Structure 1
Amino acid sequence: MPVISPTTPINTFVDRDTITNSTNATVADALQVVCAWPVSGQYGAGSRVLYYILVAVCVFARKAEWLRSAGLAAALLVPAVAALHAIVLAAVHVDGAVDMDVYGAFQLCSIGILAAPVTVRLSQTYFNDPGRNMIFLWTGLVLAGLLSLTVEFYRIETFACSMDDFGQPMSSDPSQFNYMNAGCGLALPCNTGPAGPFSPLRRGATNEIFVIPAPDRLTFNAATLVAAACCVPAILSLIYTWIKILEVNWKNSYGHHDEPISGTNGATIGKMKGVNAVIRTFLSTVEVPLFGGAVIVILVFGELNFFSRQVNFQTEPMTSIGRELNRNDANKKPLSTWVKTA
C-alpha cells in the first residue's frame, strides 16, 4: 500500500458515494429548460380577450337573438380552429422541441368545452334551436383537440441546464435565466439551422426557436392533467346531447304520448319527466358554480402563464400592431424592445 503523503489535504479523501449523490442532487436541482417556438400571434392577448368577450356574450346575452347568433358563431369557430391546430400539433410532433402554441390551443379549447355545452344544456333558448346538432359535432371536434393536447403535453421533455454559454453556473431561478446566451448543451442544437429542430408549421418568419426555462405558472404536467380532465365533461355532454336529440326526433316522428308505465303505481311518462326536471334543476344549481369556477381558474392561471417571462419571451406584443419591427439586433434584445415607431 502506498504511503500517504502528509501534505495531502484531508478533505480530498471524500467518499465516492458522497460525490455521486452530490452530482445527482445538482442535476436534479438544475433549471429545467425546453427548446421552444414562441407563441404565435393568433393566440395573442388581443385574440384571447376577444374570445373571452364572445363567450360572455353567449352566456349572459343569449336572450338577444341578434347578439346570440353572431356571438355563438364566432365563439364556436375560434376553439374549433384551435382544436384542429391541436390535432396537427400532435400529428407533427418534434422530438426535443415544443411549439408553445399548445398553450394557446389549450386555453381556447378548455374554456370553450366547459362553457358552451353547459350553456346549451341549461338554456332552452339554445337547446330548442336546430343548432344543437351543430354544437354536438363541435363538441366532438374540441374533444379530439383536447385529447391531442393531452398527448402532446405528455410527450414534452425538459432538459437540465447547469451553465450558460460562457461557462457560468446557471441559477435554478427562472427569472435569472440568461436568455439568448444559454444553449445548455442540448443534444439537438436549438437553432434555425439545418441541424436544429424542424416543424412544417414553423416556416419563414415563424421558424425562430429559442431555449427557455420550462413554464412554472402552468407546468406541462399540470396542463396534461387539466386537458385530460376537460375531456370528461365533453364526453358526458356528447352522451347527454345525443340522448336528447334522439328524444326530440322521436317526439317529432311519433308525437307526444303520456301513457302509464307498466309495473308502476299509475306513473306516466309525463310525471316522470316532471320529476326529472326537478332533479335537473337541483343539479344545475351545483353544475353552474362548478363549471363557472373551473372556467375562471383556467382563465386566471392561463393568463398568468401567458404573461410569465418564459412563455411571453419573443412573442409579438400588442403594441407592434401597425408598427415595424427591427430585427437587426435580434441576438441582443428581446422582442419587446424591438418595437419602434414606423
Structure 2
Amino acid sequence: MNQDRKVCWDENGETCCAHWHSESAAPPPKRVVAVDDAIKADAAYRLACEGTALLWRGDFHNARLLLQALARRTERSLAKGRVAEDSPAAAFHRQRLAQSQRARTLGMLLIPFEADHGVPLRRAPDVRQACLEAFGPMEEPYLASLRDLLGAVGAHEWRKKGVEIAALGARIHPHYGVFSPVRGEYLDLVAKAPLPSLDLAFDIGTGTGVLAAILARRGVARVVATDLNPRALACARENIARLGLSEQVEVVAADLFPPGRAPLILCNPPWVPARPKSPLEQAVYDPDSAMLRGFLAGLGEHLSPEGEGWLILSDIAERLGLRSREALQGMFAEAGLEVVARLDTRPTHRRAADRDDPLHAARAAEVTSLWRLRRR
C-alpha cells in the first residue's frame, strides 16, 4: 500500500539520506532542496513544477499556508488549460489528468518525521497516532509529503468521529485507506430491498463492513463478509464488534467469494472502469471492470437455488461513455444471470449540484441501482 525507499539531498554542505514514504506509491523525488519560511510561494511553485521537492525546515503552520498557496496557483494554471470537451469521456480523462498533475505538484512539499512519527518542526502538532494508523510502524526517520500527512490526520479524525449511517441508526468508523460510506443513497437501497432469505448472506468486498451490518440489523442470521485488503479487514472487524454484531457477522480474507453457497450475495464494486493512479483510489476505479466481471462470473456457482445476487452500481460510467448499458447487460447474460428487478435512487451528495464540476452533467443525471440477479 505504500512505497518505502531512500531519498538523498545536500544540506549545509553534507549529503543527507532518509527513507521515503508515499501512500500514493509516488517514486522518491530526484531533486530535493531544504527550504523554510523565507521562501516565496511563487518560487516554491516554480520549483515544484520543475520536479524539485521542497523539504520544509520552518514553522509547521507556515508549511500548511504554503501548501494552500501552491494549490491556488495550481488551480489557476489548470483553469487556463481547460477547453470545451467533445464528449463526457474526454472531460473525464482531462479531469483525471488534471488531478494527477495537481497531486504531483502539491506532493513536492515534504515534511521530516522521526521514527516514532513525530514531526521535528516548530508548532508541529502531535500526529504520531494518526501516522501510526495510516503508515504503520517505522524503524527510522523518514520523509513524506505534507499532503500524505494531512490525509492521515483527516482519516484519523474520521475514524474517531465516525460517519452517521441512517440505515443503521449508528456510526461507522472508517480506517485510513478504506472507502468511507458517505453516500447514503445506496445504503438505503440495501436497507429496503426485499430479502430472499434471512438465513445467510455473503458481502463481497465489505470495506468498512457497513453493508454486512445493515443485513445483520435487518435480521439475516449469518453474514460472511469478505475482503482482501488488510486495512479493510481490520476496519470491518472493528466496526462489527463496535455494533455488537460479531455473533452474526464473520469477516474473512477472501478473493471475492468465501467457500459455499448463499441465498443472498451482495457486492458494491468500484463504479468506474478506469485505472487507479494510487492504491487509495482502488475503491473507486476498477480497470476493465475486473471486480465487477469477477463477481458476476462467480455469482452463479455460489448462489443457492432461487438465491439472489445484489449488485450495487451507479450508471456514472455509462454517462461518461466509459461503459455502455448494453455491455453491462452482456456481462449478465455471459454469466448466465437474469434480472429479477432493479431498485433505483438518485444521488444526494453535494457534487451532484456543483455546476463548476467539469463532470456536472453526468453527476446530476446519475442513477444508482441495486440489481437483483438470479441464475437463468
Range class of TM-score, shorter chain: under 0.3
* Greater strand share, structure number: 2
Q: Which of 1 and 2 has higher RCO (CA within 8 Å, sep 6+)?
A: 1
Q: Which has the higher helix share?
A: 1
Task: Give the greater-gyration-radius structure (CA).
Answer: 1
Provide the TM-score with structure 2 as the length reference: 0.20
Q: TM-score, normalised by structure 1?
A: 0.21
